[in-house]
Structure 1
Amino acid sequence: MRSRFASPKLMLLLLHMSLYWFSTQPALELPASKIVDVPLAQTGEGIAECELLKWYVQEGDYVEDFQPLCEVQSDKATIEITSRYKGKISNILYVPGDIVKVGETLLKILVDESTFPSGIPCDSENAKSPDTDQTLVNESVFTTVIDDSDNGKLIDSDPGKGRQTGVSSTPAVRSLAKQHGIDITEICGTGKDGRILKEDVLNFSVKKGIIKNPSTVLQSDSGEQLQGAEGYNCNVATKSYRPSEDRTLPLRGFQRAMVKSMSLAAKVPHFHYVDEINCDALVELKTSFQKNNPYPDVKYTFLPILIKSLSMALSKYPFMNSCFKEDALEVILKGSHNVGIAMATSHGLVVPNIKNVQSLSIMEITKELARLQQLASNNKLTSEDICGGTITLSNIGAIGGKFGSPLINLPEVSIIAVGRIQKVPRFADNGNVYPASLVNVNIGADHRVLDGATVARFCNEWKQLIENPELLTLHLK
């Protein structure tokens, strides 16, 4: 009797079942994709938040490892945030102009699990460890289901996570809502899957009486990408407005930093010492440098000579180049002369510093100053350029003005404002009148560390070097 398993039909059926099993099994073992939260990392010591300046990517873009994602600005520098992953941009949570706290999620990237770095917990692992300190988790991972029936729509397994729960919209739409002071979570979206469109924001604005004609807003925004809220800038002339109009502008970037630093500086007991310095010899020296300049790309100014002579005076009076630790009642005498130069830029006041001036020549100071000025004008200064200053020089005379009463740039203990060089009449010892090139200097000092006699003696030393620049050669090392 022939076995029933030898039936050709049965064997064919078993073969088809086997083929089906082997053809579907690899699909079940395909690595699942994951949504990775990309947070704002710590960009420097003591920095708690940054302003988002611009995005280099948009939702739907594919990014590579170390590809720039966005540019942010702290109160110290401008930083590029790069991607640690290769994948697709799933969701952008902030728009340019937003203030983002360190650790908050900037955007989400869809990453293939096969390329996902090990050791970073996913949702299920987090659920098993409820006691995990969430403040130490820099990147949270969310499993994503890909629904083939809906063109690969991404379904976040944790939709409640994010800055705006349950809201689906583009950064441009969120920026538009922010411009009109609207909470976007109150708007019902008419787009696919409840996505909020620009028209939804405008219609909501009309209902609330915020705007009257949405078409004018649509026309003004056509073809333009919204770049976030307008910020305050005291160095740029603004458009003329009717006197009756009040405008509220948020402080951004370096302006926010100035609020903090000057508020702290105002609590320090200051005193100011004012003197005038004859710059006749300095003018002649600068003219000679420029006339016999072997470097056509280098432009000589008075400032590098002032900086070098300042460093030489600091060597004799080290307390001027110190910082004060109030909690320990200690003064730290700084070994390096890192001279900060106050610069007014279109982005606000910034104070980069020239490192180790005591070891630099006037030519090297000139080149470093030009480098910092170029970076400052392009808003590209790094934290290294800004941090570590030991004394500050503010050349207000480059803009105008005879005097200035500067506030200390903490934790430094002294700051110097230099006015405009003026040609004024002066009397010689024999009574004759002669023209003199004079500049006024105003030294602001921390009276907890420095006294008037120390500042006066320091200024006399600096003044002697400026009025007799040939003395600089005696102290060069």
Structure 2
Amino acid sequence: MLISNASYSRHLSNFLSLQRRTFRSSRCCWGEVVPFKLSDIGEGISEVNIKEWHVKPGDKVNQFDSICEVQSDKASVTITSRYDGIIRKLYHEVDDICKVGSPLVDIEVDGDGSSSSDDDQVQDQEAQSETGHVDHSALNLPPAQAPGLASKVLTTPAVRRLAMEHNINLADVPATGKDGRLLKEDVLRFLEQKSAAPSAAAAAAQVKPHAEMAQSAVKAPLPVPPPLPRAPIATPAVRVAQQDRKELVKGIQKAMAKTMAKSLSIPHFGYCDEVNVTRLVELRPVLKAMAETYGIRLSYMPFFIKALSVSLFEYPILNSHVDENVEHITYKGAHNIGVAMDTANGLIVPNVKNVESKNILEVAADLNRLMDLGASGQLSTNDLAGATIVLSNIGTVGGTYAKPVIVQPTVCIGAIGKIQLLPRFDASENLIKAHIMQVSWSADHRVIDGATMSRFSNLWKSYLETPATMLMHLK
């Protein structure tokens, strides 16, 4: 039987269309391997270091499960999955550099239509245009019948990791967040209850009645301990020169190298003074006890930060940003005071936001949060961005004086030394004991002059030497 060219073309087109639909259906059923790419995590970050993998090929993952932890030049970020599926390939080793937009892993997504990739969306659109309708019945399942959702716990990757570190099943922890979300506080409370519940039976089994102990003490003579052997004379270990080794400059260390190279192009000038903090030392124990009732650790740093904020109202140019060409000075409205922290990953400078609208307890609570996150490497880019002036407490590592380097685009940084008990003369020329702290300022000499820096420092100093004067400015 002969078929015309037009008829043959029409039959061939219908056949290929059918094959194409059948092929896509097969991919959906067996699972499609999609590349999971590193998304833009903001703050102009173009590349990250792979710090730790939380998965390996063959692992089953669900949406919001942790894939890996990456280290940018600003913060450590946990990357979570957008798919339900199986890990098929890791594109990088630990310490490798991954560019934004490049793939991290390949995931074979579940074949139940749960993948949210662009390719799946295109297929759904094409299927709708070919069939003329979409079956919505599968989308309207009640929560109890929705596949894969009954065993999920709604929480963040940081909370999942905390639970994993303590071998806690998230399903065992009562959730108190909105819509059943499991909060970090829930896990910490669960840990506290778990550790604070000693076994009464075990404790009772270990304690004998006094009479029984007395009888056993009479019947059983005390054993004579054998003579102890003489300890050998310790000899110092021989130190052998190690071979040279080369390390890649990465993460926070790489960011610090870039920042310091730019910052040292700023013409710095220094100003130093000493502060008599005797009254503050006497006041803090009283306020510290009150802060502990709220679960807040109160160090001296919140007082230094709040006094700095109060002083900035009189000298707003110290709370400004300047562009590289020194064409514009931006007077910042918020007092976001950066605090230099020494962590296992290197030097970082998170900041306490909006200090001008907070009291000392609120500043202390924010500072505690930043210190805890910094110690665990969990600071966000928001915590690290936006500082308007910086304080560095070198006293925590035993320092007295420093020559701090300005962090662009801020124009001032202060280094606070350790508090020492030193002899001083009072107003009546009597020799007294005084708690003395040194402060070393660095300022951008392009926009800050020495007289302004001196007056600003004297005002800040007066609030610390007479803490009661800060009461007028507390909110």
TM-score by length of 1: 0.67
Q: Which residue of 1 aligns with 2:395?
A: 397
Q: Does 1:348 align with 2:334?
A: no
Q: Which residue of 1 aligns with 2:360?
A: 362
Q: Does 1:31 align with 2:26?
A: yes
Q: Which residue of 2 aligns with 1:140?
A: none
Q: Structure 2 vs 1, CA of residues 42 and 29 (structure 1 numbering), >3 Å: closer, same or farther? A: closer
Q: Does 1:307 align with 2:302?
A: no
State how far apart, in whole Å, the 1-side matches of 2:474 and 2:97 are.
47
Residue 426 of structure 1 aligns to a residue whose secondary structure is: strand
Residue 401 of structure 2 aligns to a residue whose secondary structure is: coil
What amino acid maps onto 2:86 in structure 1? K
Q: Which residue of 2 aligns with 1:72?
A: 70
Q: Structure 2 vs 1, CA of residues 112 and 457 (structure 1 numbering), >3 Å: closer, same or farther? A: same
Q: Which residue of 1 aligns with 2:411?
A: 413
* TM-superposed deviation, 1:260: 1.1
State how far apart, in whole Å, the 2-side matches of 1:76 and 1:375 are.
13
Percent identity, aligned pairs only, is 41
Q: Deviations over 1:343-384 (max 9, x none)?
A: 111111111110000111111111111111111111111111
State how far apart, in whole Å, the 2-side matches of 1:336 and 1:297 are.
27
Q: Deviations over 1:98-122 (max 9, x none)?
A: 1212122211122367544474499
* TM-superposed deviation, 1:244: 4.8
Q: Deviations over 1:269-297 (max 9, x none)?
A: 11111111111111111122235556173
* TM-superposed deviation, 1:430: 3.6
| Most deviating of 108-117 and 306-315 | 108-117
* TM-superposed deviation, 1:429: 3.9
1:416-431 alignment, distance < 5 Å = 416-431=414-429
Q: Which residue of 2 aligns with 1:272?
A: 270
Given candidates 91, 95, 98, the residue that maps to 2:96 is: 98
State how far apart, in whole Å, the 2-side matches of 1:355 and 1:411 are.
17
Q: Deviations over 1:315-365 (max 9, x none)?
A: 110000010013461000000000111111111111111000011111111
Residue 313 of structure 2 aligns to a residue whose secondary structure is: helix
Residue 342 of structure 1 aligns to a residue whose secondary structure is: strand
* TM-superposed deviation, 1:87: 2.3
Q: Structure 2 vs 1, CA of residues 29 and 391 (structure 1 numbering), >3 Å: closer, same or farther? A: closer
Q: Structure 2 vs 1, CA of residues 445 and 26 (structure 1 numbering), >3 Å: closer, same or farther? A: closer
Q: Structure 2 vs 1, CA of residues 31 and 348 (structure 1 numbering), >3 Å: closer, same or farther? A: same
Given candidates 318, 321, 340, the residue that maps to 1:323 is: 321
Q: Structure 2 vs 1, CA of residues 34 and 465 (structure 1 numbering), >3 Å: closer, same or farther? A: same
Q: Structure 2 vs 1, CA of residues 318 and 26 (structure 1 numbering), >3 Å: closer, same or farther? A: closer
Unpaired stretches in structure 2, ≥5 consecutive residues: 1-18, 122-237
What amino acid maps onto 1:79 in structure 2? V
What amino acid maps onto 1:321 in structure 2? N
Q: Structure 2 vs 1, CA of residues 298 and 328 (structure 1 numbering), >3 Å: closer, same or farther? A: closer
User: Does the CA-based 8 Å contact 1:31-1:112 persist in structure 2?
Assistant: no
* TM-superposed deviation, 1:396: 0.4
Q: Does 1:289 align with 2:283?
A: no
Q: Which residue of 2 aligns with 1:467?
A: 465
State how far apart, in whole Å, the 2-side matches of 1:351 and 1:78 are.
13
* TM-superposed deviation, 1:97: 1.4
Residue 36 of structure 1 aligns to a residue whose secondary structure is: strand
State how far apart, in whole Å, the 1-side matches of 2:273 and 2:24 are.
80
Q: Structure 2 vs 1, CA of residues 286 and 115 (structure 1 numbering), >3 Å: closer, same or farther? A: closer
User: Does the CA-based 8 Å contact 2:43-2:381 persist in structure 1?
Assistant: no
Q: Does 1:247 align with 2:245?
A: yes
State how far apart, in whole Å, the 1-side matches of 2:329 and 2:20 are.
71
Q: Which residue of 2 aligns with 1:262?
A: 260
State how far apart, in whole Å, the 2-side matches of 1:464 and 1:442 are.
16
User: Does the CA-based 8 Å contact 2:49-2:96 persist in structure 1?
Assistant: yes
Pairs aligned (count): 339
Q: Deviations over 1:73-96 (max 9, x none)?
A: 111111111222222212111111
Residue 420 of structure 1 aligns to a residue whose secondary structure is: strand
Q: Deviations over 1:417-449 (max 9, x none)?
A: 000111111123443321111111011111111
Residue 101 of structure 2 aligns to a residue whose secondary structure is: coil
Residue 418 of structure 2 aligns to a residue whose secondary structure is: coil
State how far apart, in whole Å, the 1-side matches of 2:83 and 2:246 are.
39
* TM-superposed deviation, 1:55: 1.3
State how far apart, in whole Å, the 2-side matches of 1:68 and 1:110 are.
16
State how far apart, in whole Å, the 2-side matches of 1:444 and 1:56 are.
43
State how far apart, in whole Å, the 2-side matches of 1:29 and 1:93 are.
26
Q: Which residue of 1 aligns with 2:166?
A: none
Q: Which residue of 1 aligns with 2:454?
A: 456
Given candidates 27, 30, 54, the residue that maps to 1:56 is: 54
